[in-house]
């Protein structure tokens, strides 16, 4: 390993070190990108994890759909309860979970996959649970648990993807920050 030294060098170095790492593009990969046009945005340098990432995104999509359904259910059933403000906020969350699902589905298609909206298997693939509580505090608690599960899942996905796919990672990071806002709001409403 060559160590940068700001002292006077002991040996004259009249050229670049043979061990120095160069920052150069892989021109072979640039050439390969001109082929396989049917793969759209997925170039040969993408790596072997495309299928795994699509699976992670589809499980997250299922989670977002179940979260949308749970918040919609809570919005309409909480409307007659004491706190219309919280009922309205459940609708805001429902719409944001739908938007998260749309972002995931769009990325799945960009990666050459198919977004899985199969209703029969949704709850089995979702990380978070559906809930049909009738009590407002029970709803808040169920939503907070679901948000915390979603936060944990997105954090794990972000760590797994690392620098393998920076576009997907940025999408997941933006969703994660909104799930953290949801959890923060819900915890403020929890009375015990």
Residues in the site for Fe ion, rule: CB under 5 A?
A: 64, 97, 100, 147, 179, 182
**Smallest distance from the beta carbon of 135 to Fe ion, in angstroms?**
20
Report the C-alpha gap between 192 and 187 in whole angstroms: 10
**Smallest distance from the beta carbon of 160 to Fe ion, in angstroms?**
18
Q: For 121, which DSSP code?
A: G
Contacts 24+ apart (CB under 8 A), 18-26: none
**Smallest distance from the beta carbon of 178 to Fe ion, in angstroms?**
6
**Smallest distance from the beta carbon of 67 to Fe ion, in angstroms?**
6
Chain-centre distance for alpha carbon 58: 10
In terms of CB distance, is 75 or 182 closer to Fe ion? 182
In terms of CB distance, is 64 or 165 closer to Fe ion? 64
CA triplet 165, 62, 176: central angle to 5 degrees? 50
In terms of CB distance, is 35 or 170 closer to Fe ion? 170
């Amino acid at each position: 390993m060559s160590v940068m030294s700001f002292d006077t060098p002991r040996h004259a170095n009249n050229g670049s070190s043979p061990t120095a790492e160069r920052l150069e593009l892989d021109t072979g990969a640039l050439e390969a990108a001109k082929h396989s046009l049917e793969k759209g945005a997925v170039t040969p340098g993408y790596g072997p994890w495309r299928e795994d990432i699509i699976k992670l995104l589809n499980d997250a999509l299922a989670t977002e759909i179940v979260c949308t359904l749970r918040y919609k259910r809570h919005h309409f059933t909480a409307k007659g309860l004491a706190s219309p403000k919280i009922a309205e906020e459940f609708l805001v969350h429902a719409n944001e979970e739908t938007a998260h699902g749309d972002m995931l589905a769009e990325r799945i298609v960009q990666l050459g996959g198919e977004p899985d909206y199969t209703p029969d298997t949704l709850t089995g693939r979702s990380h978070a649970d559906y809930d049909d509580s009738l009590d407002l505090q029970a709803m808040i608690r169920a939503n907070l648990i679901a948000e915390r599960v979603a936060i944990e899942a997105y954090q794990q996905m972000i760590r797994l993807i690392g620098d393998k796919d920076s576009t997907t990672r940025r999408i997941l990071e933006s969703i994660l920050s909104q799930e953290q806002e949801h959890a923060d709001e819900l915890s403020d409403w929890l009375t015990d």
